[in-house]
Chains A and B, each alone.
Chain A
Amino acid sequence: MKNQLSRRSLLGRISAVAAGALAAPVAKAAKAVTQKLLVSSDAPKGYDPTQHEWVMAIDANRCIGCGLCAEACKKENHVPAPPDYPPCYFRTWVERYIITEPKPGSGAARGETLVDSPNGGINGYPEAPVPKEEIQHSFFVPKLCNLCQHSPCTQVCPVGATFDAPDGAVLIDPTYCIGCGFCIQACPYGCRFLSPVTKTAEKCTLCYHRITRGLKPACVEVCPTQARIFGDLKHPVPDDPIQQFYQNNLVEALKPHLGTEPRVFYAGIDKEVR
């Protein structure tokens, strides 16, 4: 009796150990299969994001409001556009500010400020709504993702679909985003939108598929006056335009009181710009 019991208990223990040893690879294989079915697949590694620090700068003194940047962005990134979709989806756009002369005798330093961005500035701008003599100042400001150091958009994502990449870009994982829209509400600069095509959040990616191959973002590429300046802070080139921009300009960041610490700096904008 004792022998039978001990043999049975020994067999029991051996099979338990074998089951335990098999459990780990079985679990791993099962996980791989489940991942293939339910969760997006992996891709091979290549470019090292920790070796770069991409940044963009805007020189509003140089912007002529041609809208080539906004148009190039739409084409490069297949952003939903008319006629198939309404004109309210932009990864980047250009705003026009017109600061009018004060009314005579009003005692004010300036008149009212008029801002517009017809179709994001893609097709240029119509005639100014006020005659030339009434304009005190007027300028264009290209707008895009401000690449915040403390981005409120990545802070509020409930699943980790939008994130700060190690190389400075703020990106969205389109296969993981659930489309809740919290990041779009949290961005103070209005640079995010919910794509009607993918039903996920979308925003400027600094043309990640271009910069990781040594090209410039599409908007920087086509800008005729170098109002948009792009560079890698970890690998400055000779006569680096981004270094020259920082050296030669006093700059502003948008909405600094919100503490987002934007990394996109603007030169030549007025206090009226939001």
Chain B
Amino acid sequence: MTNEITNIVQVVMPHFEGYVYPNEATRQPLWGILIVLYPYITGLVAGAFIMASLVRVFNVKALEPVYRLSMLTAFAFLLCAPLPLLFHLGHPERCFEVMMTPHLTSPMAIFGFVYAWYLMAVLLLELWFDYRRDFVEWSETTPGFKGMLYRLFTVGVTDVSEAAVRLDHKTGHVLSIVGIPSAFLLHGYVGFIFGSIKANPWWGNVLMPIIFIMSAMVSGIALCVFNYMVLTWIRRKTVDMKCLDAMGMFLFYALVVDTAIEGLDWIHRIYSAEEGFRVIQYMAREKLFYTLSLGQVTFGTLVPLILLGLLQLIRRRVPELQRRRMYFGSACLILTGVLAMRWNVVIGGQLFSKSLRGVMGYKMEFAGLEGWFMGAALLCLPFVILTVFVKLFHSERLPSK
């Protein structure tokens, strides 16, 4: 058939190679930067909370200086977590439907409930029981609007006797225990969302929720290291090295487990080489080279492993300044590495066709809901909120007192 007779529309589609289903030939993948950021943020929440619960549940005394900061970090990031989801929906005004008619066979339907549970029953309650005594004291001593706020936060309960404080402590302990599986559920269900999609060989496997949870632990602890060091530097105080060393140790071992599990996923894929393996390999090599080989593996995992591993082995011989730099550098690398991992999972799964015969491209825009600016803004917002929290709730009191 010649073009002039059948009047073919010459459509130039440069952004895919091979064969992709016609519905997959969109310029942008369906789940873009917003869906990359959501698991990243909830992962940071879960990881920061788990680190805080190491103090409450496992009585790791060395981490006490960073307990409150971890809880506030988790809180600030959790407040921002629904934003990328809301912006991504085609009809955000219908978002309440998830809680009114949740479809029980869908992992996504659990979001409203697990988020509300974690925010209110775990984080807010634990924070309240921890800060209650301070709220009562501050409400009596602070004038003006701030004093009114603190009075509001006391919820009208002003009992700060020994018995009441002991009860606060016990309740906080119980809430922490409840919070650990809740944190796993909050982030694990996202991993299950991807792991349950059997149509997509990059996503649909049983290790996905575990990988998400482990990398969440790693990113959360790294975030706490980062926040603690930045905050201490801003306040011109000295870093508690015992605390930092403890965080570094937990970070290292969490990273080892995370690397092992992700490595297992890779080894299994390469070894069993199922039907989709060829197109996945091509996609990972061509489209994900920078974010996967460089961002996630080399700089996000191997370099921090070496740095933190060295510190575990020869910590005593490394001077304090170098140690602080290594911890800070590792934390930054890990934070970007885990973000790269979320990118590789979410975007990578949409860069090859379900026909297993083609790959698509993705060029992010600057403006718009799924653009660079929005992504940067959503990443900065939790830090802004955290700054407000740190200013409002500043206290040097350790949880055991």
Contact = CB atoms under 8 A, between A and B. Distances in A.
A33 to B, nearest CB: 17
A245 interface: no
Given A89-B23, A125-B1, A152 B9 contact: no
B298 interface: no
Interface in A82-120: 82, 86-90, 93, 95, 114-120
Interface of A: 82, 86-90, 93, 95, 114-120, 123-127, 143, 152, 155-161, 176-182, 184-194, 198-200, 258-259, 274
Contacts, number: 148
Contact of B91 (A120, A160, A177, A188): A177
Interface string B1-25: 1110011110101000001011111
Main secondary structure of the interface of A (DSSP, over half): loop
Greatest chain A CB density within 10 A among B6, B90, B92, B98 is at B90
B103 A157 contact: yes
B354 A188 contact: yes
Interface stretch (B105-113, B115-123, B211-219, B245-253): B105-113
Interface string B153-186: 0000000000000000000000000000000000
Given A152-B199, A194-B30, A177 B90 contact: yes
B399 interface: no
B357 interface: yes
Contacts of B349: 185
A185 B90 contact: no
Contact of A190 (B98, B106, B355): B355
Interface residues of B, number: 50
Contacts of A200: 90-91
Contact of B19 (A115, A124, A198): A115
Contacts of B25: 86-88
Nearest to A200: B90
A199 B251 CA distance: 42
B193 interface: yes
B7 A190 contact: no
Contacts of A89: 23
Contact of B101 (A116, A160, A185): A160
Contact of B1 (A116, A124, A176, A179): A124
